[in-house]
Homo-oligomer: A and B are copies of this chain.
Amino acid sequence: MNSFLDACRALIGAAHVLHQAADMAPFLRDWRGRFTGSALAVLRPGSVDEVAALVRACAAARVPIVPQGGNTGLVLGSVPDATGTAVVLSLARLNRVRSVDAVNRTMTVDAGCILQQVQEVAAAHGCLFPLSLAAEGSCTIGGNLSTNAGGTAVLRYGNARELCLGLEVVTPQGEVWPGLSALRKDNTGYDLRDLFIGAEGTLGIITGAVLKLYPQPKAAITALVALATPGHALRLLSLLQDRAGASLTGFELMSAFCLRLVAHHFPQLPRPFGQEYPQYALVELSSSESEPHAVALLEQAIGAALEQEVALDAVVAGSVAQSRGLWQLREHIPLAQAAAGKNIKHDISLPVSRIADFIASTAPLLQQAFPGCQLVCFGHLGDGNLHFNVAPPAGIGDEAFLVNQEAVNRVVHDSVARHGGSISAEHGIGALKRDELARYKHPVALQLMRAIKAALDPHNLMNPGKIL
């Protein structure tokens, strides 16, 4: 192995081949701090050619590679296992915005660019890069693409997949596919781009991408709407889609329990209503015309929802600034959860039309199996994506409850499967959900995936043990 590491040093410089435990530590520990793996070394190439050369060296020596971006994933997809046989290949030094084309509304970036950097450069060119998620200050665009990240703007703009036109990829053989197409229509053979997107680094290493940009809306205005049930939230969603079309840019569901958690842990935040309601929707309309247009459109729609008794009560922000305040309620749910202690998380999706049924039928099953457990149910209702987290009953400690993780997953994921849903909406599979995938994915799909993996990476060197 010394000769292998020497070869790596010769390729990218000794300073970029980390092998001391202290230097490697941040690359080996997962974002939630629940697992720490082991590695031969952490490699930090500075160019696409260096990535390709390292992959060839790894292929020759049969050393497995764990590609890593910002290492903010939640499913152990970007950290190595405990065997210490793999290298971590960090894309962090590939962090240039290569070009921006404001007329084509595209930008070409290195995989290691931080998401927030991408958003800011787009904005400086008068454009919007809509991908937005909690880790945006740390995660990289390469990681976003490798996991097909979701976030808060999917309803209008789609997942990371829909925001990418072209990719540059280093194959498991260490060849470079320069697929940096900036085209909106291109039907020249198989969709290699979308095969690498969401493959979590198991088929090759994304080193660059062409991203789609959008015109900046003139204003985004939110309302907080009080609702009797999740079913009413579905009716509100349909009403807003019919009246606002693509101007509806956000629709988040939050249960009373979620806002109670936020109020308890963040008492400084606004409490828009004088009383508690069973459910809330945070909705956002964007206008390409003006702030008053957005406010008027939203007020009319919410007025209709109140009149038709779809909504119980509502607060419409009068300005973009007030809208930010309402978003904070939603954004503080994960923080309030963390302050309250650990819980068992699920990142699930369902057909939007089945969400109310899913919640109504799954909550009692959980109560039956784990009496007193507390459901922290919120998420991107417009995309069918719920964060359906289960916290311990009052008075039970986190650790005592977490031993139920497997059993809780079974109740939730079996119900997801019955409702035509997915066990991973936006976090991916990684190592954490690999067994769950094997349980719930159709055998023909698994067989197709294995055939593709074997064809492109016959020695199973690219992020082994993830997904499959």
Q: Which residues of A contact B (CB under 8 A)?
A: 101-106, 126, 147-148, 150, 154, 156, 158-159, 161-162, 171, 175-179, 181-192, 194-195, 197-199, 203, 214-215, 217, 234, 238, 241-247, 286, 288-289, 297, 349-354, 380, 383-385, 420-429, 437, 440-442, 444-449, 451-456, 467-468
Q: A384 contacts which chain B residues (CB < 8 A)?
A: 104, 183-185
Closest to A246 in B: B246
Bound-state CA distance A441–B444 (Å) is 30
25 example contacts (A-B, Cβ-Cβ < 8 A) are as follows A103-B352, A104-B354, A105-B352, A126-B242, A150-B187, A154-B184, A171-B444, A175-B444, A175-B447, A177-B448, A178-B442, A183-B350, A183-B421, A185-B385, A185-B425, A186-B425, A187-B429, A189-B441, A189-B445, A190-B199, A190-B453, A190-B467, A192-B448, A244-B288, A451-B455
Q: A383 contacts which chain B residues (CB < 8 A)?
A: 184-185
Beyond A189-B437, A448-B456, list 7 extra A-B contacts (CB 8 Å): A175-B447, A179-B445, A181-B420, A185-B349, A185-B425, A190-B467, A215-B241
Q: A440 contacts which chain B residues (CB < 8 A)?
A: 188
> Are B101's CB and A187's CB within 8 A?
no
Bound-state CA distance A451–B246 (Å) is 40
Q: A102 contacts which chain B residues (CB < 8 A)?
A: 238
Our pick among B154, B241, B454 for the contact of A185 (Cβ within 8 Å) is B154
Bound-state CA distance A354–B175 (Å) is 29
> Are B198's CB and A441's CB within 8 A?
no
> Are A238's CB and B189's CB within 8 A?
no
Closest to A422 in B: B186
Our pick among B177, B178, B423 for the contact of A188 (Cβ within 8 Å) is B423
Q: A244 contacts which chain B residues (CB < 8 A)?
A: 288
Q: A195 contacts which chain B residues (CB < 8 A)?
A: 190-191, 194-195, 452
Are A349 and B454 also in contact (CB < 8 A) when A198-B190, A215-B241, A238-B103 are?
no
Bound-state CA distance A354–B445 (Å) is 40
Q: A445 contacts which chain B residues (CB < 8 A)?
A: 177, 179, 189, 192
The smallest beta-carbon distance between A231 and chain B, in angstroms, is 10
The 4 residue pairs across chains A and B that have the minimum distance between CB atoms:
A245-B288, A455-B455, A246-B246, A103-B353
Q: A185 contacts which chain B residues (CB < 8 A)?
A: 150, 154, 159, 349, 380, 383-385, 422, 425-426
Select the residue from A186, A352, A420, A447 with max chain B CB neighbours within 10 A: A186
Q: A161 contacts which chain B residues (CB < 8 A)?
A: 191
Q: A288 contacts which chain B residues (CB < 8 A)?
A: 242-247
> Are A353's CB and B104's CB within 8 A?
yes
Closest to A194 in B: B194
Closest to A216 in B: B242
Closest to A158 in B: B162
Bound-state CA distance A451–B189 (Å) is 13
The smallest beta-carbon distance between A104 and chain B, in angstroms, is 4
Q: A156 contacts which chain B residues (CB < 8 A)?
A: 246
Our pick among B103, B241, B289 for the contact of A243 (Cβ within 8 Å) is B289
> Are B191's CB and A187's CB within 8 A?
no
Select the residue from A104, A199, A354 with max chain B CB neighbours within 10 A: A104
> Are A176's CB and B444's CB within 8 A?
yes
Q: A243 contacts which chain B residues (CB < 8 A)?
A: 288-289
Our pick among B177, B183, B454 for the contact of A444 (Cβ within 8 Å) is B177
The smallest beta-carbon distance between A364 and chain B, in angstroms, is 23
Are A428 and B187 also in contact (CB < 8 A) when A449-B192, A452-B455 are?
yes
Our pick among B162, B179, B353 for the contact of A162 (Cβ within 8 Å) is B162
Q: A183 contacts which chain B residues (CB < 8 A)?
A: 349-351, 384, 420-422, 425
Q: A101 contacts which chain B residues (CB < 8 A)?
A: 351, 353
Q: A453 contacts which chain B residues (CB < 8 A)?
A: 190
Bound-state CA distance A181–B238 (Å) is 20
Are A198 and B191 also in contact (CB < 8 A) when A238-B103, A246-B288, A383-B185 are?
yes
Bound-state CA distance A215–B150 (Å) is 22
Closest to A245 in B: B288
> Are A214's CB and B456's CB within 8 A?
no
The smallest beta-carbon distance between A167 and chain B, in angstroms, is 11
Q: A426 contacts which chain B residues (CB < 8 A)?
A: 185, 187
Bound-state CA distance A102–B161 (Å) is 25
Q: A198 contacts which chain B residues (CB < 8 A)?
A: 187, 189-191
